[in-house]
Amino acid sequence: AAAAAAVTPFSMNETERKALRVVLNRSAAERSRLRKKARFENLSSTLANKDATIDSLQEKVRSLNGVVSHLQLLLKLKSGGYGSVVGDGGGRQGGVGEGGIRLASLMEEASQVWDRAAHAA
């Protein structure tokens, strides 16, 4: 009979059990809030990184579009698409002349633009 009346270290009355449940529930809720906060911060950081990548890629596209425009112009000039700019004589003037010098200058500029684009990519 004396053993039945003994209180074990783990026995709790109803009030203590309710208090323990409240503490455990609050602890679980706090852990959940912290997980959500960490997830939000992680997603915000990921989004900022992706925005920066998109901005960088858009700048590279703009740069490459400029290179393409320059190269298209040079191709047109080289193929004679702009008439007397091509300096092969073409029956217009005897010899290379000013048009050929301009073409060489434009080709050098295109080469430099191409090099800059290659470094930017």
In a domain, 83, yes or no: yes
Longest Cα–Cα distance of the chain, Å, equals 129
Give ∠ CA 100-106-107 in degrees, rounded to 5. Answer: 90
In a domain, 2, yes or no: no
- The residue range of the domain holding 89 is 10-120
List Cα–Cα distances, 28 to 12, 18, 34, 39, 43, in angstroms: 21, 15, 10, 16, 22
Residues 47-74 pLDDT 10s = 999 999 999 999 999 999 988 888 888 8
Number of domains in the chain: 1
In a domain, 76, yes or no: yes
Tell me the whole-structure pTM to 2 decimals.
0.47
Which residue ranges in the chain fall short of pLDDT 50? 1-2, 84-96
Q: What is the pLDDT of residue 29?
A: 97
The string over 35-65, giving b where at least 16 C-beta atoms fall within 10 Å of a residue's C-beta and e elsewhere, is eeeeeeeeeeeeeeeeeeeeeeeeeeeeeee
In a domain, 3, yes or no: no
Q: What is the pLDDT of residue 18?
A: 94
- Alpha carbon distance 64, 26 (integer Å): 57
In a domain, 104, yes or no: yes
In a domain, 4, yes or no: no
In a domain, 1, yes or no: no
Q: What is the pLDDT of residue 86?
A: 46
